[in-house]
Amino acid sequence: MHRQSLLALGSMLLLSCAGAGPIYEFRPTDTPLRYAISDHGDLLIETPMGDQHSTDSTNAAIVLEVGARRGDGREVSVYFEALEIWTGGDIAVQHIEGGGLIGKRFGGALSEQGTITVSAAPDIPENVRRAVDPVTIFADFLSPLPPGGGETGEPWNHTSASSAKTAMSVESSYKGMARFAGDTIWSGQPARIIVSEGTTTTTGRGTPAGAPGEILFTLSGTSVTRYVWDPARGIMLASSARVEARGELEVIDMQMTMPIAYAGGREVSLQR
């Protein structure tokens, strides 16, 4: 029998022996999980003087520990092992290192929707806070799991919401449906694929550096994320996301409104 078939058979046997409890659930970690995260985005502003481009990207390594069940979720602890941020546009790019945040723990709860709600956070260095809200980097990157944790051939609701405070106040929401989309082999082990597709909406208000005044923007569009889930260990192995959205940006004091478009993505991979 082919090696991959043997691996798949072993996984099926393990699941069949799991009893009547949930098959798909986050489980307590024996050792901390280290994830590499690469996040990028491009914003196009159609101004009367011509198109302007703004880019941002983040590379991070986070260490995650999942604990005992607490209410509807599980206790979770997470910290950054590495964090670098690039922001800029057509003129200049700024590079920010999150050295002052490395190793400092965030605590909270992990839901079966894959959302981390932070209830205890360290002080965030001002140079980092101006560019990105660190909580948004890991708050919504884990797999959404089916209600009740059972096997299902039907899609299930997947929703999330987040807020961030940097140079601007930003609110984001996602409404979609998640579904199982077949099996795969990831680093030599059997895994399940979960795909979530839906609509995303983001609004923001504030005065970022270089802006001619206070601005207000709204973006709405589509988001597709492919997750790789290990049911034997109860952990996410990897994910790949893509977002495309359009909207408007208003310079409030100048009473000027301009079309904007955004395209971005995120890659996540378990390192250990």
Max mean pLDDT range (92-101, 135-144, 216-225): 216-225
Residue 231 predicted with pLDDT over 70 = yes
- Confidence at residue 91, expressed as pLDDT on a 0 to 100 scale: 63
| CA nearest neighbour of 160 among 142, 182, 183, 133 | 142
Residue 131 predicted with pLDDT over 60 = yes
- Specify burial of residue 96 (Cβ count, 10 A radius: 0-12, 13-18, 19+): middle
Amino acid at 59: N
More confident residue, 162 or 156: 156
pLDDT digits (tens, 9 = 90+) for 9-56: 444 444 444 444 678 999 999 999 999 999 999 999 998 888 989 899
Q: Domain tally for the chain?
A: 1
Least confident span in 58-62, 72-76, 157-161, 207-211: 207-211
| CA nearest neighbour of 186 among 112, 271, 110 | 271
pLDDT digits (tens, 9 = 90+) for 193-203: 999 999 999 99
- Confidence at residue 21, expressed as pLDDT on a 0 to 100 scale: 60
Cα(75)–Cα(56) distance, integer angstroms: 31
Q: How many alpha carbons fall within 13 Å on the CB side of residue 121?
A: 14
Q: Are 33 and 272 in contact (CB under 8 A)?
A: yes
Element holding 3 (H helix, E strand): helix 3-16
Cα(243)–Cα(199) distance, integer angstroms: 9
Task: List Cβ neighbours of 252 (8 Å cut-off, separation of 6 or more).
Answer: 213, 214, 215, 216
Q: Which residue has the tokens 């690039």?
A: 86
Which token pair is 61? 């390594």
- Considering the chain, what is the average pLDDT of its residues? 88
- Specify burial of residue 189 (Cβ count, 10 A radius: 0-12, 13-18, 19+): middle
- Confidence at residue 210, expressed as pLDDT on a 0 to 100 scale: 67
Least confident span in 75-84, 176-185, 202-211, 257-266: 202-211
Residue 262 predicted with pLDDT over 50 = yes
Full residue range of the structural domain in which residue 149 is found: 3-270
Banded model confidence at residue 93, pLDDT cuts 50, 70, 90:
confident
Residue 112 predicted with pLDDT over 70 = yes
- Confidence at residue 12, expressed as pLDDT on a 0 to 100 scale: 45
- Confidence at residue 62, expressed as pLDDT on a 0 to 100 scale: 96
Q: Are 221 and 266 in contact (CB under 8 A)?
A: no
